[in-house]
Amino acid sequence: MSSLSNRQSFFYKNGLGIVALTLFAVALVGQALTGWHEHNSETQQEGGAAIGLLMYLGSGHFISATFENFESEFLQMALYVVLTVGLRQKGSAESKSLDEPEEVDREPVASADAPWPVRQGGLILKIYENSLFLAFGILFLISWGLHFYGSWVDHNEQNLLTGQPHDSVADYLSQANFWFESFQNWQSEFLSIASIVLLTIFLRQKGSPESKPVDAPNSETGK
C-alpha cells in the first residue's frame, strides 16, 4: 500500500522537475552571493565603493554572468532539438534509428485528447510542430541580448573606474571581449552535445532513459 501511495504522490510524479529547479535556485543564489563579493572586491581594488546585494542584482556584472550561461544552454538545446530531426549517429542512444520509422515522425492525429493546436490544425499546428525549437531559439535570443547588455554596462563601469572613455553599443559589439565570453561558453555546449551523442554508443547507465539497455550491442541505434 505504501509503495502505491508513494507512486501517487506529487513528488513521485514531478520529482525530476522539482529537483532540477531546486538545484538551479541553489546555484543561482550561490552565484549571486559569491559574485557580489567578487564584484565589490574588484571595485574596491580600483578605488570604487562597494554596493549592496540588491543593487548588485541589477548590475551589469550579475546580468552578464547570469545570461551568458543561460544563452549557451538555450543555444545547446535549440541546436540539439533541430539537429536530431535529420541527422543520425550509428550506435548512439541520442539518435533516431538508421532504418526504422520513428514514432516522433508520424503525422499528428486530431484525437479528442490531443493538444489544442493539433485539433485546431493549419498554421497553428505548423507552429506547434516546431514550438520546442522556437521556444529555445527565442530564449537564446533574449539571453544573448541580456548578456550583451550586462557585459556592455559592466565594461563601461570598469572604464569609468580606470578613467577610460565610455564605449557605445556599436563600439563594444566590435570588440573581442563580448565575443570571447560567448564563444568560450558556446564551445563547451557543442562539446557536451558531442559527448552525450558519442559516449552513449559505448557506455551505459542502468535505469536512465538517456542510455541504451545495458545488454544492447554498441551498434544498436536509439534507445
223 or 1: which carries more pLDDT confidence?
Answer: 223
Residues 30 and 92 in one domain: no
Residues 138 and 198 in one domain: yes
Biggest distance spanned by C-alpha atoms of the chain: 71
pTM of the model: 0.89
Q: With contact defined as beta carbons under 8 Å apart, do 90 and 221 qualify?
A: yes
Number of structural domains in the chain: 2
Phi, psi (deg, nearest 5) at residue 13: -80, -20
Residue 6 corresponds to which cell in the numbers above?
508513494
Domain containing residue 44: 1-51
* Mean pLDDT score across all residues of the chain: 92
Report, in this order, helix, strand and coil percent for the chain, each rounded to 5.
70, 0, 30
Residue range 138-152, pLDDT digits in tens: 999 999 999 999 999
Residues 66 and 33 in one domain: no
Residues 1 and 104 in one domain: no
Residues 70 and 166 in one domain: yes
Rounded mean pLDDT, 150-177: 93
**Residue 52 vs residues 66, 67, 133, 154: alpha-carbon distances, Å:** 18, 21, 39, 16
Residue range 72-111, pLDDT digits in tens: 999 999 999 999 999 999 999 999 889 888 888 889 988 8
Residues 95 and 203 in one domain: yes
Residues 47 and 62 in one domain: no
Read off the pLDDT band of 5 (50, 70, 90). low
